[in-house]
Structure 1
């Protein structure tokens, strides 16, 4: 049950944070938002550093650092860039693939054996999420207008997220590191990586007088929700649940995003409600 509630908490945190990041991406570069939130998030959790015995399990820490760079530095930058280019709904449509990708990757890479019901549930969730997104984007936008860069960013962010999650899962089940400790290690490595590459962008952001106090407040709130609590809850999920089941739960963002759909100009119709209900049936089958 801990894994289940952690997954729902992570989804809620990400959903509201993504809404804020999309608005702020109209004024800031995606990489600026990513480095801002990760540096700030690592500072918030900085006291956790004192609880980590850095030289006792060097291999695990190195793997988590790689996970942070892949999932947070690269993956989140691609994700925010995708939000800016093709919007929240289309970006989330590609995230609908994560349950199937994660289940497949977990099976072939770390020998997690899933019963047939998990595959069926993952397939139902992926299908339902895609149809939810389809109801809210393709009706409004010309589907013939394909932005290749946005699609590549969305696909790249999905692959980075699943690979990073797999690395985290391996360490969480094979070492004594806690979800909170693994969260801070990943955040620190991601922050250092981003700062070294985009140092100029970060300094320009701090010196940018056009960024208002409201912008900073929004970024701080979204950092606490989507980065600190979001990643912490995610790590708890991968501590207590197999990666395939965990990602099936974590992929419910489009369903929860319906609660903020009016603010983003989306309409909810009967089919959207039906597919939302169907996605929960898929989750129920997976967890049964």
Structure 2
């Protein structure tokens, strides 16, 4: 029965698994982001993931798949928009606002992806699915807002962070819909779609880095073996593994549902906080319960 559930809901399970990984990685990236600029960080983690994906494809023996030029173009554009611009904007929002406030703005992405998929892909969702997306996002936002009380950043940082956070949400929603258009109803391996998206995003970042005339000094933190190991492990989880899971979710479930479940990262912070002895308010727990009802509707 468990195996049947995993097969029937593999897209949804993959999205939740990616959310769990991103919840942990977001906290780690705040520390890493203090030593590397958003552009450099995005490029290096993407490069690590590209190497890992190529090695995986070589081991699987699937290095030359049959993919139409249309699908390649859609996935390439998805990488440019979602990874090249979207992820860089998200790292900038993280630096300005912190993980929790940046994640609040990310909650705009799922309904935006659902609307874009409806308009461009004619991907219609049942009323229950729309209700599930709404409850999931309300619950997640409630949890984040409850846990963001404290010292605010300077107003200039908040405005800058908000702008980049909204750009990140737009980029990720657009990237998700483009991936969904390429993957739905095809035999494309999500490993391959992940590689194409990362290569596209990497090319954008290379051009961006050259235009900004970044120097070798920007890479100085990478000389530390400990820092490089931390970045490699985090990139393995958050970029190689999580983006692979995200592509699986977009292949097997609707774009809006995949995005909504991927946005549940903050919910996974609550059990971790309790385990570490941190006091969690009743309001935050209620927010989790609301989101869980939304998730249940999406699985139903």
Normalising by the residue count of structure 2, what TM-score does the alignment of the two structures yield? Answer: 0.87
Could you say what the CA RMSD is over the residues aligned between the two structures, in angstroms?
2.5
Residue 219 (structure 1) aligned with residue 231 (structure 2): yes
Deviation at 1:70, TM superposition (A): 0.8
Matches within 5 A, 1:4-43: 4-43=12-51
User: Which residue pairs with 2:53 in the alignment?
Assistant: 45
Deviation at 1:259, TM superposition (A): 4.2
Residue 110 (structure 1) aligned with residue 121 (structure 2): yes
Matches within 5 A, 1:247-286: 247-261=259-273, 268-286=280-298
Q: Is the 8 A contact 1:60 1:175 kept in 2?
A: no
| Residue 36 to residue 209, structure 1, CA distance change in 2 (3 Å) | closer
User: Which residue pairs with 2:203 in the alignment?
Assistant: 192
Deviation at 1:261, TM superposition (A): 4.6
| Residue 190 to residue 262, structure 1, CA distance change in 2 (3 Å) | farther
Aligned mates of 2:215, 2:274 — CA distance in 1: 33
Q: Is the 8 A contact 1:255 1:276 kept in 2?
A: yes
Deviation at 1:254, TM superposition (A): 1.1
Matches within 5 A, 1:1-288: 1-47=9-55, 48=57, 51-53=62-64, 57-137=68-148, 139-142=149-152, 145=155, 147-199=158-210, 200-201=213-214, 203-206=216-219, 208=220, 211-261=223-273, 268-288=280-300
* Secondary structure of the structure 1 residue equivalent to 2:98: helix
* Secondary structure of the structure 1 residue equivalent to 2:184: helix
Deviation readout 1:220-258 (Å, 9 max, x if unpaired): 011001000010000000010011111121110111133
Q: Is the 8 A contact 1:132 1:254 kept in 2?
A: yes
Aligned mates of 1:128, 1:186 — CA distance in 2: 30
Q: Which runs of 5+ in 2 are unaligned?
A: 1-8
Which stretch shifts more, 19-28 or 211-220? 211-220
* Secondary structure of the structure 1 residue equivalent to 2:123: coil
| Residue 218 to residue 265, structure 1, CA distance change in 2 (3 Å) | farther
Q: Is the 8 A contact 2:97 2:153 kept in 1?
A: no
* Secondary structure of the structure 2 residue equivalent to 1:45: helix
Aligned mates of 1:240, 1:79 — CA distance in 2: 26
Count of paired positions: 286
Q: Is the 8 A contact 2:79 2:196 kept in 1?
A: yes
| Residue 263 to residue 163, structure 1, CA distance change in 2 (3 Å) | farther
Aligned mates of 2:231, 2:275 — CA distance in 1: 18
Deviation at 1:286, TM superposition (A): 2.3
Q: Is the 8 A contact 1:132 1:272 kept in 2?
A: yes
Aligned mates of 1:221, 1:111 — CA distance in 2: 39
